[in-house]
Amino acid sequence: MGRKKIEMKMVKDSNASQVTFSKRRNGLFKKANELATLCAAQVAIVVFSPGGKPFSFGNPSVDAVTQRFLNQDYTIEVDPEQEARVEKLSEELNGLLKQLHIEKKRGKMLDKALKESGASRSLLNINELGYDELVNLKAKLEELQRNLKGRVNEIEASSSLLLLKKVANEEVDD
């Protein structure tokens, strides 16, 4: 069940108003924290509940942000270490987004090629399987895993033998 759009109007019931305030306050503080984290912004929020109780959120602190606002000190204090970390994470995110885009394109091309070849694509929907079928599938997957491990061991052994042979041949040549 999805969320419904709530019409923006004054909540008249005091209990419902308090509950709505609490939920919205937490959401507002969460968004402010995300803004501060993602954009390295300095954020301060002060709200008063319907009962008159104050709540605040600040990054780095409410006092620091309000003093900066009141003094109109618009200089930015940047921690070089944090800025470098943010830059590194931003580059990593951009790389992952590019990789995701490439993989999506590849998936579309594979789907198109599959459709053009006339092959039917029957993917296994695990949610539609019964208990016995799932147990059987699990057993087959475990067998496949054992076979793969065995094959990897064979390849590693072959690689080691080839390396030993190469080393032995080099010693003979010397």
Annotate 72-106 with DSSP letters as a single string: T-------HHHHHHHHHHHHHHHHHHHHHHHHHHH
Q: What's the pTM?
A: 0.40
98 and 67 housed in the same domain: no
Range of the domain at 169: 123-174
The total of other beta-carbon atoms located within 10 Å of residue 87's CB is 10
In whole angstroms, what is the distance from residue 93 CA to residue 167 CA?
44
Strand pairing of 54-59 and 43-48? Answer: antiparallel
Residue pair 21/49 in contact by the 8 Å Cβ criterion: yes
In whole angstroms, what is the distance from residue 137 CA to residue 34 CA?
42
59, 29, 55: which is closest to 43 by C-alpha?
59
32 and 67 housed in the same domain: yes
What are the angstrom distances between the C-alpha of 33 and each of 44, 56, 100, 138?
Answer: 10, 12, 27, 43
36 and 64 housed in the same domain: yes
Going residue by residue through the chain, which has 174 residues, state the pLDDT in tens, using 9 for 90 and above: 567 887 888 888 888 888 889 899 999 999 999 998 888 889 999 999 888 899 999 988 898 888 888 887 666 666 788 888 888 888 888 888 899 989 989 888 888 887 777 655 455 677 778 888 889 889 999 999 999 998 998 888 888 877 777 777 776 666
For residue 105, being part of any structural domain is answered with yes
List 44's β-bridge partners, or say none.
58
Work out how many domains the chain is built from and give that number. 3
Residue pair 44/66 in contact by the 8 Å Cβ criterion: yes
For residue 100, being part of any structural domain is answered with yes
